[in-house]
Structure 1
């Protein structure tokens, strides 16, 4: 299951990453400078220039020590640098300053899940969802589902993914996860329903064809399975999915 997810992640990982919060603040020179410095930190972080990003975030805090967005981005940076204690301190500082901010709650939930604290992480994801103005609840629900999977809570994960679809029907990662989960649980009807929807929304890929092959294999529709398998071999001969097909690794 995790290997299947990583394959999809090659083209969709942008939707998986936690979002960075740039908090709205009252207009004054210190806040303006802190906001500018924090936005610069975000840009450097996204380009992998972590040392410069840390420097900019610290300059933001020098301008305004209570600017929670700067602590938030520092938490993300230190998490990426595998310094969990520093990351935890920054996220907790951000939450102490802005406890109801959904983006910070989302980010801390993501961090905790990455640390194996799945129940605590999901609790912060749920905190993020309490804000009725939160712009990306579907993204948080997908992350909560992935966190539940890590904890072995398959039904809870499925519920989170289904809630994500209700929030945003075109959430591709939720559809993928529901298709994979349905396949794992031996529910070919649900798996095929999500597969058909993905076919409408995505360009053809080795990952998508391989999903179809496995679904038809479970259904027992050998003709449809053979057709999709031929497409996979002909169009993506060097892919990991074709290798799995040729070696019969359908799980």
Structure 2
């Protein structure tokens, strides 16, 4: 039910964005299928791409692909359409197809920093660090691009992998200046502060992380470590109960039960 409510809100937003005072540009819906009236082909394709993105964010990948394919039939020059296809294939663990669609997107929009950021993350997660790092540095050094939190965070992850904790901390800090709610940077900062023995700061970061990402398994494990170090055993028990309830078949839950 909750997913349906979220989808309805998304769909209502799209309807609002597509509406106009011009009666000829109204959108009619039959059984939730958009029937676009008297709109330019590019506008119709853009709306279908937006629907594809909404479905992608809801993790309804088949519906997303259906709308993206319809969009491409109307306009095969929209780089964003190919980017979303690439993200779907990346999440579906199909790196060859993801690479194919990223290539399509970047051929159409080689200087689109949103697409470059997504591609750099893909390269990094594929272990292609030699290709990812120049892109990530290009993104953080771009003077007019504001959405740099992802690039800073992945550069921070690379620093951590190479034992450069201080440099990583600086990059995660810069990421959070750009977006104070970026969960990856919050989580890594919590772990760094825990490793440094700065438990109150670690607690602040993990609580901020929970407020954004919810009670994830990794987050609860870190929270338990932090509160154990602070000897706040009521919170330790609270986190342990939540972990066992939400992730009953995890190794972490089994370890809690073994004590």
Q: Same fold, TM exceeding 0.5? A: yes
Q: Against the structure 1 CA distance between its residues 62 and 153, is the aligned structure 2 distance closer, same or farther, given a 3 Å change threshold? A: farther
Q: Offset of 1:244 from its aligned partner?
A: 4.2
Q: Which has the higher contact order (CA 8 A, sep 6+)?
A: 1
Counterpart Cα distance in 2 of 1:170 and 1:43: 21
Unaligned runs of 5+ in 2: 1-38
Q: Against the structure 1 CA distance between its residues 206 and 152, is the aligned structure 2 distance closer, same or farther, given a 3 Å change threshold? A: same
Q: Give the equivalent residue in structure 2 for 1:75.
A: 86
Counterpart Cα distance in 2 of 1:213 and 1:135: 35
Q: Against the structure 1 CA distance between its residues 231 and 55, is the aligned structure 2 distance closer, same or farther, given a 3 Å change threshold? A: closer
Q: CA RMSD of the aligned region, Å?
A: 3.5
Q: Which has the larger radius of gyration?
A: 2
Q: Give the equivalent residue in structure 2 for 1:57.
A: 68
Q: Give the equivalent residue in structure 2 for 1:192.
A: 200
- The number of aligned residues is 212
Counterpart Cα distance in 2 of 1:120 and 1:153: 20
Moved more, 51-60 or 157-166: 51-60
Matched, 1:129 2:140: yes
Q: Against the structure 1 CA distance between its residues 192 and 245, is the aligned structure 2 distance closer, same or farther, given a 3 Å change threshold? A: farther
CA contact (8 A) 2:87 2:98 kept: yes
Q: Which ranges of 4 or more aligned residues in structure 1 deviate by more than 6 Å?
A: 206-209
TM, length-normalised to structure 2: 0.64
TM, length-normalised to structure 1: 0.65
Q: Give the equivalent residue in structure 1 for 2:193.
A: 182
Counterpart Cα distance in 2 of 1:87 and 1:200: 32
Q: Give the equivalent residue in structure 2 for 1:45.
A: 56
CA contact (8 A) 1:100 1:131 kept: no
CA contact (8 A) 2:193 2:202 kept: no
